[in-house]
A and B are shown apart, each in its own frame.
Chain A
Amino acid sequence: MSDKMNQDSVICVCGLKKHYKGGVIKALDGVNAEIKRGEVVVVIGPSGSGKSTFLRSLNMLEIPSEGQIFVNGVDIAGKGVNINEHRQKMGMVFQHFNLFPHMTILKNMTIAPTTLLKKSREEAEKKAMELLEVVGLSDRALAYPSQLSGGQKQRIAIVRALCMEPDVMLFDEPTSALDPEMVGEVLDVMKKLAKQGMTMIVVTHEMGFAREVADRVIFMDAGVIVEEGTPTEIFDNPKSERLQGFLAKVL
């Protein structure tokens, strides 16, 4: 499979299945996808369609029942793979932020680089402060997560992942738990990141963001990819009935 892979593809998913309760519930039922370097892919679909499961499988937070996930040519679902090394290169942003409540913002951002990448504290803090500057939160470096608003927390969560200098960023509904007025500030950070050429896979309900930022949109339903294409193809010219029905509901 890896030889078939295009040279600039970062992730290649092959026949990915995730079954619960002995196959009664099929969260993923044979997903094939390829993500190229620098590409911004947005995954949309109704709730329960398996889009979050798909995203979480990409760094093995969900363990697939079947199928292969090649990351830089290595099947991370296979035996004897050091998944921790792969996760260091794959940032993840969660719906509920999951900042560490017992650490300051700065500590949240430096704990992984200092422990895992063996960076010095000064080096890690310098990098963290640079990133905080970018998201406009450098004055909150010594605050605790509980002192921040939802939008601020999510921006911190994004830069915390960036501190590990990942190749790929995964976003699992990053704005779904936010008050509406805070959605914009998080999306702005993500747009900046996309412009810098980061490879991004985003599960979201923000259709405006998908249309504006995505290179490619994937529509999932009932555990499979039903349709994929450029934002124009997906939003202006949907082919499948299921996508037409979905768009009619959300737009």
Chain B
Amino acid sequence: MQAWFADFKADFKLNFIDAARWKWLVEGLGNTLKITFFSLLIGLVLGIVVAAVRSTYDKNQEAMAKHKGVGYYVFAVVNAVCKLYLTVIRGTPVVVQLLIMYFIIFATSRNDVLIATIAFGINSGAYVAEILRGGIMSIDNGQFEAGRSLGFNYVQTMIYIIIPQVFKSVLPTLCNEFIVLLKETSVAGYVGVVDLTKAGDLIRGRTFSAFMPLIAVALIYLVLVVVLTSLVGVLERRLRRSER
């Protein structure tokens, strides 16, 4: 037992203390959090825009088709672009998207953290868009009709009547998407970003000792996700309390 403990101590020292290797983990964690946070923002903005276009088009198609103006055709094109975006992004692996971003689209730039952030943001946007659209479509159409029959226009109906109801129902799903995003960023190492996973792997490469760094990385992710999940739980309970 004592021998095992001594081994453990030596292993720990080798992987984290020697040459201040723990700093890699800190740097990696920093990058992971940075990428997650900013791609979350990009994803949220993109998702809201795409969901707004898609559901507005679906809900108003009949009314717009009756009097075909220029706006109708512009809207139809924008809607088609959004659909294409959803298909391509959800139909290809995030790693491939990341590599395409890094080696083709931004081939001249070597700002790897920024490129990874954009790639993950665009990826997350597609999922957020579908979560939001699902939320909007799940609201009974009678709510729309009641709003419209009182004289609210489409946007006002959305703002005062639909969105507050959607918000409650999609919030847990949306938070889960962010937890998934956090873990997905672990493939950023493919384009040379030193994120948490890559940092652990770099230590492993130096020390030829896999156990310590990889388990440490796994534990850090686990702690982050557990904290996030419990926050979501608190939020859910609070929302349930306010609705009667």
Do A and B associate with each other?
yes
Residue pair B151, A87 in contact (C-beta under 8 Å)? yes
Q: B244 contacts A146, CB within 8 Å?
A: yes
Which residues of B, 39-71, contact A by the 8 Å Cβ criterion? Answer: 62-63, 66-67
Q: Is the CB of B151 within 8 A of A61?
A: no
Q: Which residues of B contact A (CB under 8 A)?
A: 62-63, 66-67, 140, 142-143, 145-153, 156, 160-161, 164-165, 168, 243-244
**A contact set with B: CB distance below 8 Å:** 59, 61, 63, 79, 84-85, 87-88, 90-92, 94, 96, 98-102, 111-112, 115-116, 144, 146-147, 160-161, 164
A98 and B62 within 8 A (CB) = no
CB within 8 A of A61: which of B148, B153, B165, B244? Answer: B148
Interface residue from A63, A94, A98 paired with B66 (Cβ < 8 Å): A63
Contact between chains at A115 and B152 (CB < 8 Å): yes
The total number of A-B Cβ pairs within 8 Å is 65
**A115 in contact with B149 given A94-B142, A101-B165, A102-B164 (CB within 8 Å):** no
CB distance from A170 to the nearest CB of B (A): 8
On chain A, the residues within 8 Å of B151 by CB distance are 84-85, 87-88, 112, 116, 164
Q: Which of A63, A88, A101 contacts B150 (CB 8 A)?
A: A88
A96 touches B142 (CB 8 A): yes
Residue numbers in A under 8 Å from B67 (CB-CB): 79
Are the CB atoms of A144 and B153 closer together than 8 Å? no
Q: Name the residue in B143, B147, B150 with the highest tally of chain A Cβ atoms < 10 Å from its Cβ.
A: B150
Partner of B148, one of A87, A115, A164: A87
Smallest CB-CB separation from B168: which chain A residue? A102
| Min CB gap A146→B, angstroms | 6
Give Cα A144 to B160, complex, Å.
Answer: 16
| CB-based closest 6 A-B pairs | A88-B151, A98-B146, A92-B149, A98-B142, A112-B150, A87-B151
List of A residues within 8 angstroms of B164 by Cβ = 102
> What are 20 A-B contacts defined by CB distance under 8 Å?
A63-B63, A84-B148, A84-B152, A85-B151, A87-B151, A88-B151, A90-B149, A92-B145, A92-B146, A94-B146, A94-B149, A96-B140, A98-B143, A99-B146, A100-B147, A112-B150, A115-B152, A115-B156, A147-B244, A161-B150
